[in-house]
A and B are shown apart, each in its own frame.
Chain A
Amino acid sequence: MADLRCDFAGVKSPNPFWLASAPPTDKAYNVERAFKAGWGGVVWKTLGEDPPIVNTTSRYGAVAVNGQRMVGFNNIELITDRPLDVNLAEIKQIKRDWPDRAVLVSLMVPCEEAPWKKILGAVEDTGADGVELNFGCPHGMSERGMGAAVGQVPEYVEMVTRWCKSMTRMPVFVKLTPNVTNILAPARAAKAGGADAVALINTVNSIISVDLDLMAPTPTVDGKGSHGGYCGPAVKPIALNLVAQIARDPECAGMAISGIGGIETWRDAAEFITLGSDGVQVCTGVMHYGFKIIDDMIDGLNNWMDGKGYGRISDFHGAAIPNFVDWQDLNINAELVARIDQDKCIKCGLCHIACEDTAHQAISVSGTGPARIFDTIDAECVGCNLCAHVCPVENCIEMVPVDNGKPYMNWTQDPRNPHATAAGGAVE
């Protein structure tokens, strides 16, 4: 049994699986159930100043792909719609009842010192383990000069973070919006402001779909729609990249990372951790399936770690970062070709038509009907992997290395690169 305990940015939890600040952490009732189910921590649904905001109906939209529901999810909800003192009292009770779990509180107030000071003091009184500054919400709040409106301006991120660090002894997490061109700008600003950790990603700006009868974006509110925040499995690749960018940035070194975005399984979590996340947060996964998915997340991560011989999270934390390089550092001499396992092939022809119509004309077809044969033409194959991705049969198309005897050479060293130098190092 591996040791899943986490201790980063001054916050301890029995496992790396926390619930992200969102409806699942909106009140004591839900959080109580989550902790009973086994979740290691929560980031309480974002608190703001009273009077509380008011939400619309409806609030959620979703993308289904081939019958798989909620592959992508979006919402036009705002921060908590309950009075501040109710939330604070519940947080205090929860922390008292569940001392071993991480309880962070997400906050969003206007960009002035006084409201931050006031709310930080109130949260400190609850005994919470830390705060998460919500600089990420892309809708509703940003129009009010909060959320993403702050997260998109590095100077504000740094300023507010610095205020908070000076106003409280609690660890400060800064939640980042992905709706920026370069994630390093707000991340470095958070670091400069003294943040203990960044948490990312918040939701991605989106219109989930258009209702072609109503002629309005969904979800619709009385015939109109607004842009909302996109999340769920579909955003995981975006989140992984942004997390990894920060994790390998020397300027951000020393700041912890709480990975968020499309995490639903232990495998998703493991991937985030290998790219530098110290822990992970989940929202859509539990909104889709309930809190019980934690069972397999814990069990699966344990079994995988046991199989790999990892005793604790730190044994593989950041393990994939050294292999995350820029394109120009890839070995341009490495060569793969596609190989079709004829015994597994079911003759669907998808590989052929994909390569024929859209790639490199490297898969031939001979014969007709169920007896036809698809084969690769090595001389034409550029090893792009397209066929292996379209093939519906697991492991039927393998990408096999070609032993071309060529040594490692990257693009900066490649004579075909007009800017190459013998020693390498030119940047395209």
Chain B
Amino acid sequence: MTDGADIQAGRLNGAVLAENFADVHRPFDAAGAAVEASRCYFCYDAPCIGACPTGIDIPGFIRAIATGNLTGAARTILEENIMGGSCARVCPTEILCQGDCVRNGVGDRPVEIGLLQRHATDHLGGGGPHPFNRADDTGRSVAVVGAGPAGLACAHALARQGASVTVFEGRAKPGGLNEYGIAAYKVPDDFAQDEVAFITAIGGIEMRYGQALGRDLTLAQLRNDFDAVFLGLGQGGVRALDVPGAELDGVHNAVDYIADLRQADDLTTLPVGRRIVVIGGGNTAIDIAVQTKRLGAEDVTMVYRRGPEQMGATGHEQAFAQTNGVRIKHWLRPVRLEGEGGVRAAVFQGVELAADGALVDTGGEQAMPCDMVFKAVGQSFVPLAADGPDLTAGRIAVDESGRTSLSDVWAGGDCVAGEDLTVQAVQDGKVAAGAIADYLKNMGS
């Protein structure tokens, strides 16, 4: 126990917590969806499509919603993005499709592509038949490591084309960060698990849990047992916060705490501090700040060492945090965390940008009293054993089809370079599946 630190569970009652962690976006009803769909111009070679990492035919599916063809709309989405349901909920649309919607140009708000996508995909989520059929079994086998968005998208696409896929997942549950990382109010209820069930319903996918590469399996073994391997390992590590006091009680990795929150059966039992300091400027920082606030923390401050423009979190996310009562402070660098046993204060140094682009101290420290500190300064890829593929800048090196330095091993998602987004992971998995399918076809028997 941290002496004097105010950390308690049950700051809010169950009913309030249920409200705070319910769906942040109100879904459209049929009439609302029809009206919103009618706002789409059905652009030629629509710019929004180019801004979607998975290249969904956006005007096509929106037109289908407008005509009442919801099944067709959902299929159009899922054809390019089998996780269209979670992407509809978690994509930062303001910097993707909606950011390039031409409606912005008429001084208007963009078409609500994300919410429309959700309307369409929810229509199929209702337990109907799977929208796609699996091709005849080709007799080829693929091992997919990691049941996150990248691995699941790859597994689905390959199974659909007739390969037999075995997914090895280190954790006890599938979904990756959809299950353990995404903010709870973006994917409430059991959405992540329902979606995995939907994806695997295509058939030809065997799921194996508690099977970690490097612990329970070796790459050599997989390469031997299967025709090809896809690695969708995500980023298991977190960047260290190199300041004195980082080991104090009450100092947490944001992603670990979020995983606990996502897995908690009863949020009233999850302890949270009264005063919170979050160090970092990305979406993870936003998510931990907002979620601790919604758990009942009284005072949550996000501290970032640069300005609002340089933050990894989008403007929309920053505004969302602020309307949730999170204070965001800029141009402060952490120097140490103080406390006896438990953290009691985070001390920062003011910084500014020098002419050469370097951050220089402006002198003068400020201490922020707190009960909990969250580190959200980035995740990192945990390299595999020596027989693994080559790395570049700390992640797995791949060509544009996702192929690694090993000719029968592909990789994608957060474990390779690129945007760390669910939708990008899905695209990586899909692209790699295409390349793997070609590879399997051309393999001698």
Contacts and interface: CB of A to CB of B under 8 A. Distances in A.
Interface of A: 66-67, 345-350, 352-353, 365, 368-370, 372, 392-393
A350 B44 contact: yes
Contacts of B50: 368-370
A52 to B, nearest CB: 38
Interface in B168-227: none
Interface in B10-67: 34-35, 38, 41-47, 50-51, 66
B38 A350 contact: no
Contact of B102 (A67, A348, A352, A353): A348
Report, nearest first, the 3 A-B pairs whose CB atoms are least far apart. Answer: A349-B44, A346-B105, A66-B38
Nearest to A353: B44
Contact of B43 (A67, A348, A368, A393): A348
Interface in B346-383: none
B428 interface: no
Nearest to A391: B41
A232 to B, nearest CB: 19
Contact of A347 (B34, B51, B66, B102): B102
A347 B105 contact: yes
Contacts of A372: 45
B338 interface: no
Contacts, number: 48
In this complex, the member of A346, A348, A353, A369 whose beta carbon has the largest number of chain B beta carbons within 10 angstroms is: A348
B359 to A, nearest CB: 33
Contacts of B45: 349, 365, 368, 372
A347 B47 CA distance: 8
Given A348-B43, A349-B44, A370-B100, 20 more contacts: A66-B66, A67-B35, A345-B105, A346-B102, A346-B103, A346-B106, A347-B47, A348-B41, A348-B44, A348-B46, A350-B41, A350-B43, A352-B44, A368-B45, A369-B47, A370-B47, A370-B50, A370-B102, A392-B41, A392-B106
Contacts of A352: 44
Max chain B Cβ within 10 angstroms of own Cβ: one of A346, A365, A369, A372: A346
Contacts of A349: 43-46
A365 B45 CA distance: 11
A372 B100 CA distance: 12
Interface residues of B, number: 19
Interface of B: 34-35, 38, 41-47, 50-51, 66, 100, 102-106
Given A66-B38, A67-B34, A67-B38, A369 B44 contact: no
B39 to A, nearest CB: 8
Contacts of A66: 35, 38, 66
Contacts of B42: 350
14 contacts: A67-B35, A67-B38, A346-B102, A346-B105, A346-B106, A347-B102, A348-B46, A349-B44, A350-B42, A352-B44, A368-B45, A369-B50, A393-B105, A393-B106
Nearest to B34: A67
A410 to B, nearest CB: 37
A105 B100 CA distance: 58
Contacts of B46: 348-349
Contacts of B35: 66-67
Contacts of A347: 43, 47, 102, 105
A277 B122 CA distance: 53
A410 B45 CA distance: 41
A393 B102 CA distance: 10
A334 to B, nearest CB: 30
A228 to B, nearest CB: 23
A346 B105 CA distance: 5
B160 to A, nearest CB: 30
Contacts of A348: 41, 43-44, 46, 102
Nearest to A354: B44
Contacts of B41: 348, 350, 392
A9 to B, nearest CB: 43
A67 B38 CA distance: 7
Task: Name the residue in A66, A350, A370 with the highest tally of chain B Cβ atoms < 10 Å from its Cβ.
Answer: A370
Nearest to B100: A370
Nearest to A392: B41
Nearest to B99: A370
B36 to A, nearest CB: 9
A257 to B, nearest CB: 37
Nearest to B44: A349
Contacts of B34: 67
Nearest to B38: A66
A392 B59 CA distance: 15
Contacts of A369: 47, 50-51, 100
